[in-house]
């Protein structure tokens, strides 16, 4: 078999988190009752006129700057015509001829080092409604709440050479857009969706092979699997001496294979034409500058600054900057308690562990920096021991509870009072004659059990080291 090279270009749709839709004032809240967030504009009533939401243009410019694009000074909207029940106007307002951003790039980490992936363009468009098949009535119902929700479509150059590179690009893209705060980019909920265009060619060849397109992949994992599967499928076709058909294919994640949706012969003709109801969008230098000064510190710069300003290892910084929310919590809590490494430890270990266990995205962490700092201070001052600290942290994590209040109200402070400690040790010795005898007979390991008994009797409020010493002292 000859050696082949895989070529991938991605079209990524990202739902913006603006409060209102792109061409009307309807709210965009996710998960509302069907058809409660609609008006004549977003349901395509005759005569209703669209008005561009300024925030959408601003988010698009911000995304363009974050992805090193040129911003188009006079950009225009176009109608993409097609019939489908979730599309009440029978056209989608999009941008074909003069998209708002062009010629950008994103640098991603790959196996062979950093690599630039070109961004062909970013355009603004409206989302469609949603068809819901209702099995009880056998009918298909339509919910137009999503109709008119603003989307950015980010089109890459065919610069990726494997599914892994495609995922690295998607991760970097998501990171940038989340740092910008313009989209929550949740693939599972559909606020970030990727179309994978893929072709193969003999290694060393300069011309592109015929590609297929797999639409709406909704996880990094399915991008990876779909790319590997499609690449193998195309290589097999070429090896048989046949030709790849340019077509859209649907990836079935459960079966782990794709199947053809439509071929070139009946390819859609969208009959694009300029949108007559919207004026061209003019973007001047002042506007671009205004957006530029509001750009956030992105991960790369934040990483450098953290390494410079805090005495924490590069490993910590890598985790802390993986989500903007984590980085913000770290900085705020460190400023309050002055113990960056301790704060970092809580975020890297317990926080990340609970995020994994409870399926919480670190970007959605809901507790406050004040409460995290308070916990760090209590634990660091030895007011609570590490077991209690973990229990209290769980409450901070889950309900943003105030650690100082919980420790006080629930009497969780470590008992440093010698008297109370020795009374507890005394009763433990009385109640556990057998293990105590074992210990006295030289089975030194039994002390672990004895310490545990005292800790339990004191509801974890003792310092285990102090307990150990007291037992050792009493039993000689
Ligand atoms: P269309 O207008 O049909 O969507 P485009 O030329 O805009 O096609 O390309 C769409 C996406 O497909 C882009 O991300 C581009 O990089 C990618 N692409 C184009 N040709 C190929 C190819 N031969 N192999 C892999 N990806 C490709
Ligand atoms: Mg396309
Ligand atoms: Zn509306």
Range 33-56 burial, b when 16+ CB lie within 10 A, else e? eeeebbeebbbbeeeeebebbebb
> Mutation test of ligand 1: which of 4, 5, 7, 9 has the most ligand atoms closer than 8 Å to its C-beta?
9
pLDDT surpasses 80 at 267 = no
Average pLDDT over residues 292-308: 96
The reply to whether ligand 1 has any atom less than 6 angstroms from the CB of 10 is: yes
In the block, residue with structure tokens 């050792």? 472
Assess contact for 268 and 82: CB atoms under 8 A: yes
Range 382-395 burial, b when 16+ CB lie within 10 A, else e? ebbbeebbbebbeb
Residue 262 — very low, low, confident or very high, per pLDDT cuts 50/70/90? low
Assess contact for 161 and 281: CB atoms under 8 A: no
Extended strands (E) in 183-256: 192-202, 212-217, 247-252
Closest CA to 1 of 245, 198, 202: 202
Spacing, Cα 59 to ligand 3 middle (Å): 20
pLDDT of residue 378: 93
pLDDT surpasses 70 at 266 = no
Fold topology of 418-474: Arc Repressor Mutant, subunit A (1.10.10)
- Please say whether the dihedral angle defined by the alpha carbons of residues 14, 18, 20 and 22, taken in this order, is positive or negative: negative
Spacing, Cα 375 to ligand 2 middle (Å): 51
pLDDT tens-digit map of 120-164: 999 999 999 999 998 998 999 999 999 999 999 999 999 999 999
Spacing, Cα 263 to ligand 2 middle (Å): 14
pLDDT surpasses 90 at 307 = yes
Residue 364 CB neighbour total at 10 angstroms: 11
Beta sheet of 247-252, edge-to-edge order: 70-71, 101-110, 113-126, 150-156, 4-15, 192-202, 212-217, 247-252, 257-263
pLDDT of residue 462: 79
Please, what is the end-to-end C-alpha distance for the chain in angstroms? Answer: 77
The reply to whether ligand 1 has any atom less than 6 angstroms from the CB of 400 is: no
The reply to whether ligand 1 has any atom less than 6 angstroms from the CB of 117 is: no
pLDDT of residue 382: 85
How many Å apart are CA 8 and CA 281, to the nearest integer? 32
pLDDT of residue 466: 81
Where along the chain do its domains lie? 4-288, 299-409, 418-474
| CA trace torsion 50, 55, 59, 61 (10° rounding) | 80
* Residues in the 5 Å CB sphere of ion ligand 3: 24, 26, 39, 41-42
The reply to whether ligand 1 has any atom less than 6 angstroms from the CB of 11 is: yes
How many Å apart are CA 22 and CA 147, to the nearest integer? 10
pLDDT surpasses 90 at 111 = no
For ligand 1, atom 8, which residue shows the shortest CA distance?
197
The whole-chain average pLDDT of the chain stands at 93
pLDDT of residue 473: 84
Element (H, E) at 92: strand 91-94
437 vs 195: which has the higher pLDDT: 195
Contacts of 443 (CB under 8 A, 6+ apart): none
How many Å apart are CA 455 and CA 45, to the nearest integer? 70
pTM above 0.85, yes or no: yes
Ligand 1 atom closest to Cα of residue 158: 16
């Amino acid at each position: 078999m000859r050696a082949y090279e895989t070529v991938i270009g991605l079209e990524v749709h990202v739902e913006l988190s603006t409060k209102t839709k792109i061409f009307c004032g309807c709210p965009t809240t996710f998960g509302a009752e069907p058809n409660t967030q609609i008006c004549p504009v977003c349901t395509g009533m005759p005569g209703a006129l669209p008005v561009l939401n300024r925030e959408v243009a601003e988010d698009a410019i911000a995304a363009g700057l974050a992805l090193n694009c040129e911003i188009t000074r006079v950009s225009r909207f176009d109608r993409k015509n097609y019939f489908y029940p979730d599309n009440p106007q029978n056209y989608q307002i999009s941008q074909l001829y003069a998209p708002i951003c062009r010629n950008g790039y994103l640098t991603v980490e790959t196996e062979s080092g950093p690599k630039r992936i070109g961004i062909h363009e970013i355009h603004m468009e409206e989302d469609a409604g949603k068809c819901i098949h209702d099995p009880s009535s056998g009918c298909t119902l339509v919910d137009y709440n999503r109709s008119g929700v603003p989307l950015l479509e980010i089109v890459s150059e065919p610069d990726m050479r494997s599914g892994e590179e495609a995922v690295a690009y998607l991760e970097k893209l998501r990171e940038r857009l989340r740092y910008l705060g313009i989209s929550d980019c949740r693939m599972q909920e559909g606020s970030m969706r990727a179309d994978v265009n893929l072709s193969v060619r003999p290694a060393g060849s300069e011309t592109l092979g015929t590609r297929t397109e797999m639409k709406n992949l909704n996880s990094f994992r399915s991008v990876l699997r779909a790319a590997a599967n499609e690449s193998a499928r195309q290589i097999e076709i070429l090896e048989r001496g046949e030709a790849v058909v340019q077509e859209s294919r649907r990836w079935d994640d459960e079966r782990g294979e794709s199947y053809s949706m439509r071929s070139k012969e009946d390819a859609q003709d969208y009959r694009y034409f300029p949108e007559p109801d919207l004026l061209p969008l003019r973007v001047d230098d002042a506007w671009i500058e205004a957006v530029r000064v509001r750009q956030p510190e992105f991960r790369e710069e934040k990483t450098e600054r953290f390494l410079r300003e805090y005495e924490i290892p590069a490993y910590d910084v890598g985790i802390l900057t993986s989500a903007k929310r984590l980085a913000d919590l770290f900085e705020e809590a460190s400023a309050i308690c002055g113990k960056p490494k301790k704060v970092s430890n809580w975020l890297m270990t317990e926080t990340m562990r609970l995020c994994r266990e409870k399926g919480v995205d670190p970007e959605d962490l809901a507790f406050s920096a004040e409460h995290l700092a308070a916990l760090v201070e209590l634990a660091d001052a030895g007011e609570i021991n590490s077991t209690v600290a973990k229990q209290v942290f769980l409450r901070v994590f889950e309900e943003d509870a105030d650690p100082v209040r919980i420790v006080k109200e629930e009497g969780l402070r470590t008992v440093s009072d010698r008297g109370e400690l020795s009374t507890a040790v005394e009763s433990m010795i009385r109640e556990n004659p057998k293990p105590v005898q074992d210990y006295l007979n030289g089975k030194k390991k039994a002390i672990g059990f004895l310490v545990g008994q005292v800790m339990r009797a004191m509801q974890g409020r003792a310092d285990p080291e102090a307990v150990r010493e007291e037992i050792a002292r009493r039993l000689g």
